Amino acid sequence: MHDHGRQLVTPRCGLVLLVLAGAGWAKSDFKALAAQLKDPKARVAAYRELRAAKDPAAIGPVRRVIEELPDSQRHWGLSVLDVYPADLARRAFRPLLRSPSPFTRLFAAEALHRRGVPNMGRTIHAVLRAPDMHARQKRLMLARLRYGRLPRYRPLIETVRGFLSATEPVPVIYDAAQILQAIDDDGAVKPAVALLKDPRPGARACAAALLVHLGFSEHVKTIATILRSGKLNYELTYVATLLRGLDAVPLEIRKALRELLGRDLAPAILRRLIYWVSRIKDRDAMPALRKLLKHKDPGIRKTAAKILLNFAGRGSAGGTAVPKSLEAEDAAALADMLRKKDRKGVRKWLHDKSTARRLLAADALRRMDDESGLQTILAILADKKSEERAVAAKLLAGFRRPDVVAPLLDALADQDAAVRSSAYLALGVVWNALFPQRVLRMRTTRYLPHEPPAKSAPAVARIRAWWNAHKDGDW
């Protein structure tokens, strides 16, 4: 390891990490910092600082605060402990196996299981079998097992199967189905088949989706029939997620989704359907999406427009950023031009009075490997009167050139929090592209987009200094 000014170069992974001036934490500060996890306004910043510190002195204060938080918020403290190295994490989590909170005991047991501590499956099993747990507690625990690693302890797996029951709420059934799907549990077939007789459409749909994943393709018809009934709402997201592991969503289900897009459904349901067809990249749904550009709900019109634009081109980083002032007709017209590769027509929009049109045209040209619209985006970002500056900053992520860095650095100190947030995310994308082997990780700079510019000025100065020192280097 050698020093280059204020940077560290690690030979093993080749990452350049900025040394944070004054980034040390006094041991006496950890009690106050951990206490901020109880304050919704200060929680995020404290969480990030504690995770970055990984200091043994913080373990005690964080553990004490965990026991003072309600179950639904304990993950803030538990997730801090979960980033510690194995030895420290084991030391941090063992005392929590005696916590009065079932969720804390389960989280600790799962974390210890991942770090090689034996017999944690028994502990998790005992927690899940605790009587009188309400649905929210069950969801918290099952979600933790879903995102962690389930011990292959047979009684525990049988207990998870038990949540595939007509006596459980649909969200609990969904969480259990996700866990069993992840381990391809053939033992889940019997309870899933029994659920097909449940009077609740959401329960039947989740059971059928699990069965399809396990190889019982005849239940594709069951899912399509339930979809066409129009009785699913939030459960649409559940079914879409359970089917995500398939190589392709079956045609019958895709046809049912297209039919539903043409019905007069509640905006919340339509929005879920739009995102589902977007996720599975069903371009045959484009005619239905075009009709939604005339929907009475402006949110539906905008969502449909965004997905149409993503279908029409390659999209920008994270998808097309949609300007606030976008007209649905403009989205349809631009989608047509992209489909026809009408570069001349798109270029005309670069000089349009509409800021939304100029932004979309510049991004569309980039998607056609034409970066002539870059100056248009930079001009909109620099225009303090424009309401589309946050969108402009986000679109700069798609260019991934050195000359977009300076404007994005300036935007980190903008008075508009939305502009700062977009610039922060865009910079991460640009630097990952420019320096694929050695990257300044934005999270190491302690810059927080939601903080006022005056407070984040030192972090911005460090980021800018890093860029000035390395932008002309041989990477």
Using the predicted structure, report yes or no on whether residue 16 has a pLDDT greater than 60. Answer: no
Same-domain check for residues 287 and 335: no
Same-domain check for residues 208 and 268: yes
| Torsions phi, psi for 2 (to 5 deg) | -135, 160
Would you call 87 exposed, middle or buried from its count of C-beta atoms within 10 A (0-12, 13-18, 19+)? exposed
Using the predicted structure, report yes or no on whether residue 150 has a pLDDT greater than 90. Answer: no
Residue 150 lies in a domain: no
Which of 3-12, 370-379, 441-450 reaches the highest mean pLDDT? 370-379
Same-domain check for residues 253 and 330: no
**Beta-bridge mates of residue 7:** 4, 18
Residue 172 lies in a domain: yes
Same-domain check for residues 168 and 288: yes
Same-domain check for residues 280 and 342: no
Same-domain check for residues 189 and 287: yes
Please write the tens of the pLDDT for every residue from 272-284: 999 999 899 898 9
Same-domain check for residues 188 and 265: yes
Residue 417 lies in a domain: no
Using the predicted structure, report yes or no on whether residue 26 has a pLDDT greater than 70. Answer: no
Q: What is the CA radius of gyration of the chain?
A: 26
Same-domain check for residues 287 and 378: no
**Beta-bridge mates of residue 106:** none
Say how many domains are in the chain.
2
**Rounded Cα–Cα distance for residues 172 and 260 (Å):** 26
Residue 312 lies in a domain: no
Choosing from 387, 408, 429, the residue where a domain stops is: 408
**Contact indicator for 62, 37 with CB cutoff of 8 Å:** yes
**How far, in whole angstroms, is CA 261 from its chain's centroid?**
25
Same-domain check for residues 171 and 246: yes
Nearest to 219 by CA among 247, 185, 183, 195: 195
Domain of 200 in residue numbering reads as: 162-292
Which of 128-132, 223-227, 422-426, 448-452 reaches the highest mean pLDDT? 223-227
**Beta-bridge mates of residue 3:** 8
Same-domain check for residues 279 and 339: no
Global pTM reads: 0.73
Please write the tens of the pLDDT for every residue from 68-105: 999 889 999 999 999 999 999 999 999 999 999 999 99
> What residue type is 217 in one-letter code?
S
Please write the tens of the pLDDT for every residue from 422-471: 999 998 888 888 877 666 667 677 788 888 899 889 889 988 988 888 77
Residue 69 lies in a domain: no
3-state secondary structure (DSSP) of residue 235: helix
Same-domain check for residues 288 and 327: no
Using the predicted structure, report yes or no on whether residue 7 has a pLDDT greater than 50. Answer: no
Q: How many other CB atoms sit within 10 Å of the CB of residue 349? A: 23
Residue 445 lies in a domain: no
Residue 117 lies in a domain: no
| Torsions phi, psi for 88 (to 5 deg) | -70, -40
Residue 352 lies in a domain: yes
Sheet containing strand 2-4, edge to edge, reads 2-4, 7-9, 16-18
In the block, residue with structure tokens 């207990």: 159
Please write the tens of the pLDDT for every residue from 166-180: 999 999 999 999 999
Please write the tens of the pLDDT for every residue from 282-340: 989 988 988 898 889 888 988 888 888 777 654 443 445 667 666 777 777 887 787 78
**Percent of the chain scored above 70 by pLDDT?**
89
Same-domain check for residues 279 and 348: no
> What residue type is 146 in one-letter code?
R
**What was the pLDDT predicted at 320?**
55
